[in-house]
A = this chain, B = another copy of it.
């Protein structure tokens, strides 16, 4: 154990590259927790650097903060997560990446035949396939994407 096992919010921000305000926001969302000094300032564990790193990586893979929180909640309570813990909760990310790659490769292939030929018809070529979570991120009509059963566009 070092002298300073606890770090300030500013240091956590510097170490992870996220803004101080963002860390407070994550805390409010329950993604990280902080101890407090007598004066009320936050003190984080060094292990929280990993935790925030995980948030950043998972975000890049298209998970919403709420989903990330659900993953993080599966880390062992009470003790600092170790390598095996992180490996466990990262397995799901691996599957997600594989799915995304597969989806993109499908899209890539279709782009050749389909937009290349000028048809660009959703129904015909299914180029516009749902199930690509990463692409649904952000505001807007989430339900439109990924909630399409059978009949979509057909260029008439």
Q: Is A35 an interface residue (CB 8 A)?
A: no
Contact A144 B53 (CB under 8 A): no
Contact A94 B108 (CB under 8 A): yes
Compute how far the CA of A120 lies from the CA of B88 in the bound complex, rounded to whole angstroms. 13
Q: Is A37 an interface residue (CB 8 A)?
A: no
State how many residues of chain A have any CB contact under 8 Å with chain B.
64
Interfacial chain B residues near A18, Cβ < 8 Å: 141, 144
Within the complex, what minimum Cβ distance (angstroms) separates A58 from chain B?
Answer: 10
Compute how far the CA of A153 lies from the CA of B57 in the bound complex, rounded to whole angstroms. 12
Chain B residue with Cβ nearest A15: B153
Compute how far the CA of A86 lies from the CA of B113 in the bound complex, rounded to whole angstroms. 12
A32-50 to B contact mask, C-beta < 8 Å, 1/0: 0000000000000010011
24 A-B residue pairings within 8 Å (CB atoms):
A2-B156, A16-B152, A16-B153, A46-B156, A49-B153, A49-B155, A52-B153, A53-B120, A54-B120, A56-B122, A57-B107, A60-B132, A83-B119, A86-B118, A87-B115, A90-B116, A93-B111, A93-B115, A94-B108, A97-B107, A98-B108, A101-B108, A137-B138, A138-B138
Task: Give residues in A with beta carbon < 8 Å to B.
Answer: 2, 7, 15-19, 22, 46, 49-50, 52-54, 56-57, 59-62, 82-87, 90, 93-94, 97-98, 100-101, 104-105, 107-108, 111-112, 115-122, 127-128, 132, 134-135, 137-139, 141, 144-145, 148, 152-156
